[in-house]
């Protein structure tokens, strides 16, 4: 939102439309969230509102980015994003936990996930072809990213499957609760 306001001041309702036009369907948010986020941004000094500004003959509550907001935005742009959230991967958690819980077989979880990924791959490549025919470059790039990560997931599942037996031979993780009290001096 700060980036959009940096491009040009606008009002809430239009911000939502710009967001969709700029970033595509996946970023469509509930309109209410636009306003609540604008309030928070205003609270934090990132934007200021210019009350009662005429836009096309009508009054709109237009917001403008402030110096603080521009600084924050610049920082956001320059600060690279960490990708290590992958370390908290839910599919990984499922596989490991299914092995522990035994209420379903790890194999079953893995197969279900593979089917899902193949479906999504099908869908995404279809969308990419459509985007390419429309020369919608940003959208093509995003779908390209999705394809690459789906491929990575699929290859990873292969690796996991190949080592399922190895996984079965491992002892279940233990966590022995020490008794209460100060731990004995380690050495």
8 A C-beta contact, residue 130 and residue 123: no
Nearest 5 degrees, angle CA 143-CA 146-CA 150? 140
Q: State the nearest-atom distance from the C-beta of 175 to DNA, in Å.
A: 9
Residue 184 binds DNA, judged by CB under 7 A: yes
Residue 29 binds DNA, judged by CB under 7 A: yes
Count of beta carbons in the 10 Å neighbourhood of residue 79? 8
Candidate residues 32, 173, 181, 183; the one interacting with a second copy per rule CB under 8 A? 173
Nearest to 94 by CA among 117, 112, 120: 112
Kindly provide the residue ranges of all beta strands, DSSP E only, lying in the chain, ordered along the sequence: 10-11, 47-55, 58-65
Residue 94 binds DNA, judged by CB under 7 A: no
**Which one of DNA, a second copy, none is in contact with 182 (Cβ closer than 5 to 8 A by kind)?**
DNA
Q: What mask, x for binding a second copy by CB under 8 A, covers residues 10 to 49?
A: ---xx--xx-xxxxx-xx----------------------
Q: Report the interface residues with DNA, using CB under 7 A.
A: 11-14, 29-33, 35-37, 39-40, 55-56, 58, 60-61, 177-185
């Amino acid at each position: 939102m700060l980036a959009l306001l940096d491009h040009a001041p606008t009002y809430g309702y239009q911000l939502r439309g710009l967001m969709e036009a700029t970033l595509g369907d996946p970023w469509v948010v509930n309109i209410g969230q636009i306003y609540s986020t604008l309030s928070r941004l205003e609270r934090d000094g990132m934007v200021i509102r210019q009350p009662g500004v005429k836009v096309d003959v009508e009054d709109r509550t237009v917001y403008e980015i402030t110096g603080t907001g521009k600084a924050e935005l610049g920082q956001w742009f320059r600060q690279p994003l960490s990708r290590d959230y992958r370390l908290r991967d839910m599919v990984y958690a499922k596989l490991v936990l299914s092995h522990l819980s035994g209420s379903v077989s790890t194999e079953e979880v893995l197969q279900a996930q593979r089917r899902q990924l193949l479906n999504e791959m099908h869908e995404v490549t279809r969308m990419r072809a459509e985007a390419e025919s429309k020369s919608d470059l940003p959208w093509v790039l995003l779908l390209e990213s999705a394809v690459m990560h789906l491929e990575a997931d699929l290859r990873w599942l292969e690796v996991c499957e190949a080592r399922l037996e190895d996984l079965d031979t491992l002892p279940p993780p233990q966590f022995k609760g020490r008794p209460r009290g100060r731990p004995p001096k380690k050495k």
